[in-house]
Amino acid sequence: MKLAASAYPATWHTSWDAYTDKIMHWVADAAERGADLCVFPEYAGLEVVSIAGEDIAKDREGSLQFAADHIDVIAEIHQAAAQKFNITVLSGSLPAKLGTDYVNRAGLFCPNGQFAWQDKQIMTRFEREEWIVAGGNPLQVFETSLGRIGVLICYDSEFPLLGHALRDVDILLVPSCTEAVSGYWRVRIGAMARALENQCVCVMSSLLSDDPRFYGIDEATGAGGIFGPPDLGFPDDGVLAVGEMGKAGWTVAEIAKNQIENVRKNGVVLNRTHWSDQKTRCEPATRVAL
């Protein structure tokens, strides 16, 4: 199968038709490249707040509310794209309402018309302290025609126990939004570490933005990347493909369907199998005076 990771630019829209055309164009481009799965970045869905005008787009509560109020419209657009181009799509995440809280939610849309939401688990300081966005519903493993898929949204990828909760997935999707290169590398290192530990493939997407009219996504950089364990059947550095920093477009890599099963069974190391060996070794370390 072919996997596509986006470096996706947030752009200003004056209508829903314009936004729909953009999503359709991007998904069509991924499909034309032969992709079976394409991944949009964290908070890419927030670009729709531009449709409400600049006063809403630059306002914290106004932008959160507008995005959450239109999540069903965004879902319909991505579902239509997945079915039209026969490709599985992870939509760009956006704020959604869960009870009285705002959460950060992405949708996995399949060509057969089925879809499901995945919420972010652990909030960054900006989300906690300024946006007031909370952790949402728990992690899930999605059984699809491409295999088992899981989603760790941005900061979630930096936590090994969240990755271990998705140890049974074949493909781990990591949509990200980072304002600085250092943030990109934190998420990329997390994604590569999770690929090593779980002996799976991680698909990382990045948001691009330099538009001060947006609140929260006014500045973002990164690149698309697809990573595996540096072991049997994979590149020595674990990098299947990586895009150019800050350059918009798709980064595509191809993997064999048995590649993950093979490395989990026959790899030089078996990190996933040996995970439980840590349990007897994780007591507080003995202090030794020298």
| CA–CA distances in Å: residue 250 to residues 4, 8, 209, 218 | 6, 8, 16, 21
Helices (H), 153-266: 160-165, 181-198, 259-266
Residue 282 has a pLDDT of 83
Q: What's the first-to-final CA gap in the chain, in angstroms?
A: 54
Task: Tell me the residue range of the domain where 123 lies.
Answer: 2-274
- Quick check: is 288 in a domain? no
Q: What domain count does the chain have? A: 1
- Quick check: is 285 in a domain? no
- Quick check: is 142 in a domain? yes
- Quick check: is 191 in a domain? yes
- Name the pTM for this structure: 0.97
Q: Indicate left, alpha or beta for 260 from its phi (over 0: left) and psi (-120 to 50: alpha).
A: alpha
- Quick check: is 290 in a domain? no
- Quick check: is 279 in a domain? no
Residue 97 has a pLDDT of 97
- Quick check: is 286 in a domain? no
| CA–CA distances in Å: residue 83 to residues 78, 141, 158 | 9, 21, 32
Residue 283 has a pLDDT of 82
Kindly report, residue by residue over 202-239, the tens digit of the pLDDT: 999 999 999 999 999 999 999 999 999 999 999 999 99
Distance CA 289, CA 81 (A): 63
- Quick check: is 110 in a domain? yes
Kindly report, residue by residue over 147-190, the tens digit of the pLDDT: 999 999 999 999 999 999 999 999 999 999 999 999 999 999 99
Task: Please report, for the domain that includes residue 268, its CATH number.
Answer: 3.60.110.10
Segments in the chain below pLDDT 50 = none
